[in-house]
Structure 1
Amino acid sequence: MSPAPARASVPPLLPGGGEDVERLTAAALAVPGVTGLHGGQFGEVATYLPGRRVVGIRASATSVTVHVVVTAAALPAVLTSVRAAITGVADGRTVDVVIADLHQAPDPTDDPPSGPRPPAWTPVGPVTPVTPVTPVSPVPPITPTTRPGPGDSPAMEERTS
């Protein structure tokens, strides 16, 4: 019996494994203006590692895609900063940055509402009673009719009657 052919070694999907994805995630989240990572509309933007899934970063041996949630201030500057931060740890891979969502930061000049909240609706005028609807006469029951069955023929009906 001949020996089994040697298997070709398969390169790892990620050069640095899970540590690589952690460095990419930390680099993206360290950029001022980035409030989080976004998993895409259906959660499809993710990197799968043994026993866990890192949402918002899709990393392979040739490219890195990062979907970020940013504050609405200075979008081009945040985009450039995220690209630079990820490129620094991407080890020569192609980097794609997607601004997936905007986070509206609360305005510090707005005062929080004080006192009770206003009602969700206010009555316009006096409430008039609803007049009852007269009931409709009931529908007569449907009576079943006898019809020939699927195997019966008109000739059989004449013979049996």
Structure 2
Amino acid sequence: MAALALSSKGVVPFCTQNAAQRRACRNCRVITRAALDPSAALAVSQQTAAFAAVVGAEAIFTGLNTPSTTPGRPTIPVTLAGIAGTLVGAGLISQGDRVGTIGCAVSLLTAAFLMTNYIGRVKDTPFDPNDWPGAKAWPAVMILISFFEFAASFQGALDGLSMLRQP
């Protein structure tokens, strides 16, 4: 018994039988679906790697331009943990399949971790009316960028999970 499936090669038959019946069926082809679409995996891994670069650049820029006694200044351990988690996620995403879905989850959690860190930095940074746009500007922008990374990783994870559920 064969059914039809839509693939990049058009409509192709795939076998809906169990393993013993499939061996006897000569007209059936089994289609293996990737858990994460390769083009989506490439896009999400590139965005994740770019996010890691932005996190590092912001920490270096803010760290060099902010006195060490100022509250809300980036901390090295948190920044390095965020960069490491993001790069591990990007590496796993680039593998595709189920590993890519796990990489999306790692990137998702890392983006959420960094987003909460940036929210804390905005709260801790003192307001100075003479300084425009102010010391809170960089952490506030990084909250937005972290949200974009969170959304991209979430979409990649949903894509990977939906491909795993299909027959």
Larger CA Rg, structure 1 vs 2: 1
Q: Which has the higher strand share?
A: 1
Q: Which has the higher helix share?
A: 2
Instruction: Report the TM-score when normalising by structure 2.
Output: 0.30
